[in-house]
Amino acid sequence: GAVVSQHPSRVICKSGTSVKIECRSLDFQATTMFWYRQFPKKSLMLMATSNEGSKATYEQGVEKDKFLINHASLTLSTLTVTSAHPEDSSFYICSAVTATGELFFGEGSRLTVL
Protein backbone atom coordinates (compact mmCIF):
# COMPACT_ATOMS: atom_id res chain seq x y z
CA GLY A 1 0.00 0.00 0.00
CA ALA A 2 0.89 3.64 -0.19
CA VAL A 3 3.44 4.86 2.30
CA VAL A 4 3.79 8.20 3.99
CA SER A 5 7.05 8.85 5.79
CA GLN A 6 7.88 11.46 8.39
CA HIS A 7 11.29 12.67 9.41
CA PRO A 8 12.59 12.95 12.01
CA SER A 9 10.67 10.48 14.11
CA ARG A 10 11.99 12.08 17.27
CA VAL A 11 13.59 15.45 17.85
CA ILE A 12 14.73 17.29 20.94
CA CYS A 13 15.50 20.97 20.74
CA LYS A 14 16.20 23.92 22.97
CA SER A 15 13.59 26.54 23.68
CA GLY A 16 13.69 29.35 21.15
CA THR A 17 14.99 27.31 18.25
CA SER A 18 13.05 26.26 15.14
CA VAL A 19 12.41 22.70 14.11
CA LYS A 20 11.41 21.36 10.70
CA ILE A 21 9.44 18.15 10.26
CA GLU A 22 9.11 16.55 6.83
CA CYS A 23 6.21 14.53 5.46
CA ARG A 24 6.79 12.58 2.26
CA SER A 25 4.50 10.48 0.14
CA LEU A 26 6.85 7.77 -1.07
CA ASP A 27 4.96 6.16 -3.93
CA PHE A 28 2.22 8.56 -4.90
CA GLN A 29 1.69 12.23 -5.51
CA ALA A 30 -0.31 14.16 -2.98
CA THR A 31 -1.68 17.58 -3.82
CA THR A 32 -3.11 17.73 -0.32
CA MET A 33 -1.55 16.79 2.97
CA PHE A 34 -2.75 17.39 6.50
CA TRP A 35 -0.93 18.14 9.73
CA TYR A 36 -2.17 17.04 13.15
CA ARG A 37 -0.82 17.38 16.65
CA GLN A 38 -1.54 15.07 19.52
CA PHE A 39 -0.93 15.59 23.21
CA PRO A 40 -0.52 12.63 25.57
CA LYS A 41 -3.73 10.69 26.16
CA LYS A 42 -5.58 12.98 23.77
CA SER A 43 -6.99 12.62 20.29
CA LEU A 44 -5.49 14.01 17.10
CA MET A 45 -6.20 17.66 16.47
CA LEU A 46 -6.14 18.93 12.91
CA MET A 47 -3.78 21.88 12.57
CA ALA A 48 -3.79 22.71 8.89
CA THR A 49 -4.35 21.58 5.34
CA SER A 50 -1.28 21.75 3.17
CA ASN A 51 -1.92 22.41 -0.51
CA GLU A 52 0.78 21.93 -3.12
CA GLY A 53 1.72 25.22 -4.73
CA SER A 54 -0.47 27.39 -2.52
CA LYS A 55 -0.79 28.62 1.02
CA ALA A 56 -1.83 26.26 3.75
CA THR A 57 -5.24 26.53 5.33
CA TYR A 58 -5.05 26.69 9.10
CA GLU A 59 -7.69 25.57 11.56
CA GLN A 60 -9.10 28.07 13.98
CA GLY A 61 -6.76 28.78 16.85
CA VAL A 62 -3.61 27.57 15.10
CA GLU A 63 -1.00 30.30 14.66
CA LYS A 64 0.20 30.32 11.07
CA ASP A 65 3.33 32.30 11.94
CA LYS A 66 4.19 29.78 14.62
CA PHE A 67 3.63 26.68 12.51
CA LEU A 68 4.95 27.33 9.03
CA ILE A 69 3.82 24.88 6.38
CA ASN A 70 5.41 24.53 2.97
CA HIS A 71 4.19 22.14 0.29
CA ALA A 72 6.62 22.84 -2.52
CA SER A 73 6.30 19.54 -4.35
CA LEU A 74 3.72 16.83 -4.89
CA THR A 75 5.53 14.48 -2.53
CA LEU A 76 6.76 16.71 0.27
CA SER A 77 5.19 18.95 2.90
CA THR A 78 7.14 20.46 5.75
CA LEU A 79 6.03 21.79 9.10
CA THR A 80 8.36 24.22 10.84
CA VAL A 81 7.74 24.99 14.48
CA THR A 82 9.29 28.42 14.93
CA SER A 83 10.73 29.68 18.21
CA ALA A 84 9.70 26.48 19.90
CA HIS A 85 8.71 26.47 23.56
CA PRO A 86 8.09 23.58 25.94
CA GLU A 87 4.33 23.83 25.38
CA ASP A 88 4.95 22.98 21.72
CA SER A 89 6.19 19.56 22.77
CA SER A 90 3.81 17.14 21.13
CA PHE A 91 3.37 14.30 18.66
CA TYR A 92 2.98 15.71 15.15
CA ILE A 93 1.37 13.52 12.49
CA CYS A 94 0.81 14.11 8.80
CA SER A 95 -1.50 12.46 6.32
CA ALA A 96 -1.67 12.50 2.55
CA VAL A 97 -4.45 11.89 0.06
CA THR A 98 -4.05 9.91 -3.15
CA ALA A 99 -5.70 10.85 -6.42
CA THR A 100 -8.45 8.32 -5.71
CA GLY A 101 -9.22 9.74 -2.28
CA GLU A 102 -7.41 7.17 -0.18
CA LEU A 103 -5.82 8.58 2.94
CA PHE A 104 -2.57 7.46 4.55
CA PHE A 105 -0.87 8.62 7.71
CA GLY A 106 2.77 9.05 8.55
CA GLU A 107 4.37 7.41 11.54
CA GLY A 108 4.44 10.63 13.52
CA SER A 109 7.21 12.87 14.85
CA ARG A 110 7.68 13.43 18.55
CA LEU A 111 8.98 16.87 19.42
CA THR A 112 10.40 17.61 22.83
CA VAL A 113 11.35 21.21 23.60
CA LEU A 114 13.62 21.68 26.58
Kindly list the residues in this chain that would bind another protein in the complex (CB under 8 A): 4, 6, 32, 34, 36, 43-46, 49, 91, 93, 95-97, 99-101, 103-108, 110
Strand residues in 15-108 grouped as ranges (E): 19-25, 32-38, 45-51, 57-58, 67-73, 76-81, 90-97, 103-105
d(CA 105, CA 88): 21
Q: How far is the CB of 24 from another protein (least distance, A)?
A: 13
**Three-class DSSP category at 96:** strand
Q: How far is the CB of 108 from another protein (least distance, A)?
A: 5
Q: How far is the CB of 38 from another protein (least distance, A)?
A: 9
By C-beta, is 48 or 113 nearer to another protein? 48
